Homo-oligomer: A and B are copies of this chain.
């Protein structure tokens, strides 16, 4: 046990506090979410960084000579290629380097590993502004979301994975004297226990949250002793490339083979994901993305962790302040143009309307209330552009263009608004569709992007049954519910929890169902079709290594 590891000692206070937070699950972060908490010149330097790196080779990686340089990212704000190229080598070279690095990494003790990883997170936090601009110009997230989601919130999730692994691996003795009384004598054995990583991990990133959805798996792999290859989405490489580079630098400083983590970039026309995923030496695969590819990943005979599509519901039963509720829902639907896996899609409203402190609001009034709130938000020059960001992919935009074919009646059309900073930004505001519960086949699938169905049901009981059925059949990552009735609240909680879906009740103001905070909220439960893994349960960690014990007479 090498608790004297310098970096472990340096970060011991953080590690100890995080260990407590893991259990108590109150608010916790060592990485403040406000840009103001960081270097005053950070933003300026970040702007300079993105200008400098565009149309250049990304040369910060320490993973050896490139065989070629690839990169086809496009900025949704500029609608131009950003021109950054990343080093590329053959599949076998990635795997061989990972294999060699794995041996080195496996021999570091858990304290050394934790120290290195928390140090890496600190270095990454020095690059938050660079990562922010890289995130904006790949995902289309607006500035503040880019900063928070790819910066502090990602670091929180990464730290959570490190600490969950640290807790588990330090949970049993590394060695002991086992003494069994046998009556006339004692049987004595020396024993040791080792947590041995399963092998090389592949982490497959997504286009919308290239850091947030990658680092939990990456840091989970690393703390459990597994070298990792990061295969980002070909349209969102730069943000995670910076993260990989910072980890590699810390590894190199500590005389550890930096190929413990490698970036494996590709392009849409020459994808390498399946070749990597199917390689015999890859033992762990983490994936975030569409369900079809996720199901393929799950069918591999490997240890796999997936986050796939889901259909998130909001159940409207009764509220005290309708305006506050509509405003909250509007923000959740508009935030990053509904391109969050936690965005609400289906809003269930009883045909007899909802009770409010000011009397009953009819279904029609609810529909128009939601539409009005969305319109007010997107048309607000101080808030619209910064909330919506830009549309990441053409596919999402095309879905919006065909919104009339989805069923129901489009009562609020999607439109574009002006982003003063980025005149060419690809922007689309949410479309709202009013529809009957009978048209189940219209709203029973994920329509990724800014599309909201307001579904008229016979009763709140029907709303609950539909939300439950959808979560069971199609998966759900989150569920919002508004009710002032305690029994109804209990019924909703039981129904949705039974299909392994968490519920957020009566959110208004600054609480949004989209947000899942590290060290408190689990993200995806792993219990329904939205994915088989959960950030960050013990299971997310312990499936990555094997306990082996030896005995010595």
Contact = CB atoms under 8 A, between A and B. Distances in A.
Contacts of A193: 25, 522
A168 interface: yes
A493 B175 CA distance: 14
A110 to B, nearest CB: 15
Given A172-B22, A177-B26, A187-B510, A497 B196 contact: yes
Interface stretch (A73-81, A111-119, A266-274, A544-552): A544-552
A179 interface: yes
A178 B553 contact: no
Contact of A196 (B189, B194, B498, B551): B498
Interface stretch (A231-239, A343-351, A501-509): A501-509
A191 interface: yes
Contacts of A504: 550-553
Contacts of A198: 527
Contact of A172 (B23, B509, B542, B543): B23
B179 A551 contact: no
Contact of A520 (B178, B507, B525, B526): B178
A182 interface: yes
A109 to B, nearest CB: 15
Interface in A183-230: 183, 185, 187, 189, 191, 193-194, 196, 198
A92 interface: no
A180 interface: yes
Contacts of A497: 194, 196, 548, 550
A553 B176 contact: no
A505 B179 contact: no
Contacts of A22: 172
A13 interface: no
Nearest to A553: B506
A23 B26 CA distance: 26
Interface string A42-81: 0000000000000000000000000000000000000000
A511 interface: yes
Nearest to A29: B180
A517 interface: yes
A126 interface: no
A318 B344 CA distance: 68
A364 interface: no
A500 interface: yes
A27 interface: yes
Contact of A178 (B27, B509, B525): B27
A16 interface: no
Contacts of A398: none
A502 B542 contact: no
A538 interface: yes
B510 A176 contact: no
B547 A525 contact: yes
A196 B503 CA distance: 14
A493 B194 CA distance: 11
Which 6 pairs between the two chains have the least Cβ-Cβ distance? A527-B546, A539-B542, A504-B551, A506-B553, A27-B180, A505-B552
25 contacts: A22-B172, A24-B176, A25-B173, A25-B176, A25-B178, A25-B193, A26-B176, A26-B179, A185-B510, A187-B511, A191-B521, A497-B548, A497-B550, A500-B546, A501-B548, A504-B552, A505-B550, A505-B552, A508-B553, A511-B553, A521-B551, A522-B548, A525-B548, A527-B548, A537-B547
